[in-house]
Amino acid sequence: MIGVTNLSRHYRMGPTTVKALDSVTFGIQSGEFVAIVGPSGSGKTTLMNILGCLDSPTGGSYILAGEETASLTSDKRAEIRGRRIGFVFQNFNLLPRENSLENVELPMIYQGIPSRVRKERARDMLRKVGLEGRERHVPSELSGGQRQRVAIARALAGDPAIILADEPTGALDTRTGGEIMELFHSLNRDGTTLILVTHDPLIARRARRVIQIQDGKILADVPSGEWTP
Amino acid sequence: MKGGAFFENIRMSLRSIAANAVRSFLTALGVMIGTGAVIAMLALGAGAQKSVEASLQSLGSNLLLVYSGQPRGGSLVRRSTTNIVPTLSAEDLEAVRNLGPHLVELAAPESSSGGQAKFAAVNMPVTIVGTGIRYPEIRNVHPILGSFFTEQEADSRKTSVVIGHQVYQELFGGAGDPVGQKIRLNGLGYRVAGVMEPKGSSVTDSSVFIPISTFQRYVSGNPKYALINVRAASAGIMRQAQGAIEKEILRLHRLPNLDAADFYVANQLDLLDTLQGVAGTFTLLLGGIAAISLLVGGIGIMNIMLVSVTERTREIGVRMALGAKSGDIIAQFMTEAIILSVAGGLIGIALGFGASWAFSRFGGLASQVTPLSVALSFGFSVLIGLFFGGYPAYIASRMDPIQALRYE
């Protein structure tokens, strides 16, 4: 599903070059549940931006679902984001004026899916994340956990190849965070490929595989059972 | 942009406009006032043009005026003939009449002088006009009481007088029938034969009309005319008639060309051209000022759209992350700007109609909304939405999704 080879992302800061990502190589199969973990400044956010096609690498290759994405125009990257990637953010990033159903419809609008199909699919997705009956609620009428569920439904709506979750439990209390992790596991059991980016070793351990990043390099890439932070 | 997204954009724009109702209204207000002003100002211009045409028609149709003296700039509507040294003779008048009915339908001489009119104890300054019996037809001014003097009276130097409406008002209080009464002009007694209809021009209304023969004998003592009024046979041959008259009088006066002439012909068409030119300039000026206010309204839209784009940076980032291309973002913000400016334009059109109505109802100004001005200002407001919405939309579409998502 994902093939990353010698991937680098360098930033020029005046005379010095910062290597946020330094020749990283790994692969992720369809149906995996991977946590990318590392402290702040380790390069995990940079890696997530590139995996999410929000940013382009300065070197190396990134193949997503058979497509090389390393040097694409911003519009082409936008198209791949819409088609292949579902984002889940720490602070949910729902549109405040739109209700749950409309928020879930959003990625499908940009894929040009007709309104009727969109609405039906959005309803299905909300049901899948346990929010049946909340279709007409706007985000301010929902709890934090419910908002994150709407965001997950939105990420699923475009039928993406991977779900990319950036600290998805960071703004939630432990119990609600745990419920969200449960939801991820249940989605993963149904075949969804999940990549979870976090600084929290306890959260990372709940994925099935851990890729640990430090100073722009992979420090460890092991099944979570064998991982010691 | 994909088909379904079009209605989505409209829906989302309306929602965003409604969420900031007051701000949206104030933004559109600039375009409303601008559009309204363009329509109202162009309506005033069109009204002015109409009233110019109407007032020229009221002078008499197909009118040519043969003046004594050197041409003067502008050759305005009706120059007073009081201060002109007369150079036109009875022979000239005869020659003009003899040009034939295919060119000249009617002709009447005219001279005038200042004088005093007196009835009972009332005195007033008047313009004494000596003219012929065709004058009312040519100049389109007719008696409302009594009649204009007859050919007989004109020929026999009778002391008959037809008084202007204002003279009637002042000497007779505007009531009763003055026909048959005697008034004094410069001390000499005249029998009132009729009263002219009010023309709204002080020259005509404060004049008294007497036969040209009487004028020459008792008022001026000069056998020449200051002016010959001519009605050409039709509007189409006015230039031809003018040329024929000029040629004929040049010959009679033994003059080589018009540069040396002691007379000139003012053509109603020239007057119309001049006055319409003035009205046109006036329209352009008013319309131009109004267009500037429309432009300012457009800048208001741009200003608010820029604020809106900044406020919604996060939203833009989210949309981009979910697959919105730069074109989608541009379409979304352009839709919003165009909805604002079109709504402003539509309300502005209503305002323009209202203002135009108020001008004529309360301001006494001729005002007429033209379909062209409505189309023009509406089209303009759409263009303003496109143009001034374009830059903020472009700014939004160029955002880096990573930065935009991080924006607080």
Quote the pLDDT of residue B72. Answer: 58
> Are B8 and A109 in contact (CB < 8 Å)?
yes
CB atoms within 10 A of CB B329: 23
Whichever domain contains A8, its CATH number is 3.40.50.300
Extract the runs of DSSP E, i.e. beta strands, from B120-245: 122-131, 143-146, 160-163, 182-185, 188-196, 207-211, 227-232
CB B186 within 8 A of CB B123: no
> Are B322 and A79 in contact (CB < 8 Å)?
no
Angle between helices A115-128 and A100-110 (to 10 degrees): 130
pLDDT digits (tens, 9 = 90+) for B14-46: 988 998 899 999 999 999 999 999 899 889 888
pLDDT at B73 over 70: no
The closest CB to that of B323, out of A55, A82, A98, belongs to A82
Query: Which secondary-structure segment (H or E) carries B252?
Result: helix B238-252
Specify the higher pLDDT residue, B313 or B363.
B313
Chain center to CA of B251: 38
CB A84 within 8 A of CB A65: yes
- Alpha carbons A166 and B185: distance in angstroms, whole number: 106
> Are B326 and A75 in contact (CB < 8 Å)?
yes
Length of chain B: 408
**Distance from A53 to chain B by nearest Cα, in Å?**
9
pLDDT digits (tens, 9 = 90+) for B215-249: 998 888 889 999 999 999 988 888 899 999 999 99
Burial (Cβ within 10 Å: 0-12, 13-18, ≥19) of residue B180: exposed
CB atoms within 10 A of CB B300: 23
Please spell the DSSP secondary structure of A34-51, one letter per residue: EEEE--TTSSHHHHHHHH
Residues 6+ apart with CB under 8 A from B390: B330, B334, B337
Give the residue numbers spanning the domain of A90. 2-226
> Are A107 and B323 in contact (CB < 8 Å)?
yes
Is any Cβ of chain B less than 8 angstroms from the Cβ of A6?
no
Q: Which residues of chain B approach chain A closer than 8 Å at the C-beta?
A: 2-5, 7-8, 12, 15-16, 19, 314-315, 317-328, 401-402, 405
- Alpha carbons B230 and B101: distance in angstroms, whole number: 12
**Distance from A46 to chain B by nearest Cα, in Å?**
10
The closest CB to that of B322, out of A74, A75, A107, belongs to A107
> Are B321 and A52 in contact (CB < 8 Å)?
yes
> Are A112 and B327 in contact (CB < 8 Å)?
no
pLDDT digits (tens, 9 = 90+) for B246-273: 999 999 999 888 888 889 888 887 777 8
Residues 6+ apart with CB under 8 A from B258: B246, B250, B264
**Distance from B308 to chain A by nearest Cα, in Å?**
14
- Tell me the mean pLDDT in the region B172-187: 89
- Alpha carbons B353 and B369: distance in angstroms, whole number: 7
Is any Cβ of chain B less than 8 angstroms from the Cβ of A78?
yes
**Distance from B336 to chain A by nearest Cα, in Å?**
16
Chain center to CA of A4: 16
> Are A78 and B15 in contact (CB < 8 Å)?
no
- Alpha carbons B191 and A7: distance in angstroms, whole number: 116
Of chain A, the end-to-end C-alpha distance in Å amounts to 26
A35-48 as b/e, with b when 16 or more CB fall inside 10 Å?
A: bbbbeeebbbbbbb
> Are A112 and B2 in contact (CB < 8 Å)?
yes
**Distance from B315 to chain A by nearest Cα, in Å?**
7
Partners of B125 in beta bridges = B116
pLDDT at B66 over 50: yes
Lowest mean pLDDT among A107-111, B148-152, B160-164, B374-378: B148-152
Angle between helices B313-321 and B326-362 (to 10 degrees): 140
CB B292 within 8 A of CB B11: no
> Are B5 and A113 in contact (CB < 8 Å)?
no
pLDDT at B111 over 80: yes
- Residue A226 is given by DSSP the state G
Quote the pLDDT of residue B151. Answer: 80
Q: Kindly give the parts of chain A with pLDDT less than 70.
A: none
- Residue B196, both tokens: 């002219």
The closest CB to that of B325, out of A54, A79, A115, belongs to A79
- Alpha carbons B51 and B77: distance in angstroms, whole number: 14
- Residue A55 is given by DSSP the state S
- Residue A114, both tokens: 């007709």
- Alpha carbons A30 and A49: distance in angstroms, whole number: 20
The closest CB to that of A109, out of B5, B19, B326, belongs to B5
pLDDT at B75 over 60: no
- Residue B225 is given by DSSP the state B
- Alpha carbons A53 and B96: distance in angstroms, whole number: 93
pLDDT band at B399 (very low <50, low <70, confident <90, very high): very high
Partners of B277 in beta bridges = none
- Alpha carbons A38 and A218: distance in angstroms, whole number: 10
pLDDT at B316 over 70: yes
- Tell me the mean pLDDT in the region B313-331: 94
Is any Cβ of chain B less than 8 angstroms from the Cβ of A200?
no
pLDDT band at B80 (very low <50, low <70, confident <90, very high): low
List the 125-154 stretch of A: residues with Cβ below 8 A of B: 154
CB B369 within 8 A of CB B285: no
> Are B326 and A97 in contact (CB < 8 Å)?
no
pLDDT band at B280 (very low <50, low <70, confident <90, very high): confident
Question: Residues of B with CB below 8 A from A119's CB?
Answer: none
Q: Which of A95, A116, A166 to mutate to test the interface with B (most CBs of B within 10 A)?
A: A95
Length of chain A: 229
Burial (Cβ within 10 Å: 0-12, 13-18, ≥19) of residue B25: middle
In chain B, which residue's Cα lies nearest the Cα of A52? B321
pLDDT band at B203 (very low <50, low <70, confident <90, very high): confident
Quote the pLDDT of residue B77. Answer: 46
Helix (H, G, I), strand (E, B) or coil at B358: helix
How much is the pTM?
0.73
**Distance from A100 to chain B by nearest Cα, in Å?**
15
Specify the higher pLDDT residue, B60 or A157.
A157
pLDDT band at B4 (very low <50, low <70, confident <90, very high): low
CB atoms within 10 A of CB B26: 12
- Tell me the mean pLDDT in the region B207-221: 91
- Alpha carbons B341 and B344: distance in angstroms, whole number: 5
- Residue B97, both tokens: 């009449």
pLDDT at B352 over 90: yes
φ and ψ at residue B288, rounded to 5 degrees: -65, -45
CB A161 within 8 A of CB A63: no
Question: Residues of B with CB below 8 A from A81's CB?
Answer: 320-323
Quote the pLDDT of residue A141. Answer: 96
Over chain B, what is the mean pLDDT?
A: 87
- Alpha carbons B387 and B391: distance in angstroms, whole number: 7
- Residue B189 is given by DSSP the state E
pLDDT digits (tens, 9 = 90+) for B367-386: 888 898 899 888 888 898 89
Specify the higher pLDDT residue, B77 or A103.
A103
Number of folded domains that form chain A: 1
Quote the pLDDT of residue B76. Answer: 43
**Distance from B403 to chain A by nearest Cα, in Å?**
10
Torsion region of A93: left, alpha or beta (phi above 0 gives left; psi -120 to 50 gives alpha): left
pLDDT at B179 over 70: yes
In chain A, which residue's Cα lies nearest the Cα of B20? A97
- Alpha carbons A20 and A46: distance in angstroms, whole number: 7
> Are B322 and A81 in contact (CB < 8 Å)?
yes
Bridge-based pairing of strands A85-88 and A67-68 is: unpaired
**Distance from A189 to chain B by nearest Cα, in Å?**
24
> Are B318 and A95 in contact (CB < 8 Å)?
yes
Report ipTM (2 d.p.): 0.94
Quote the pLDDT of residue B79. Answer: 55
Q: Which of B313, B314, B318, B322 to mutate to test the interface with A (most CBs of A within 10 A)?
A: B322
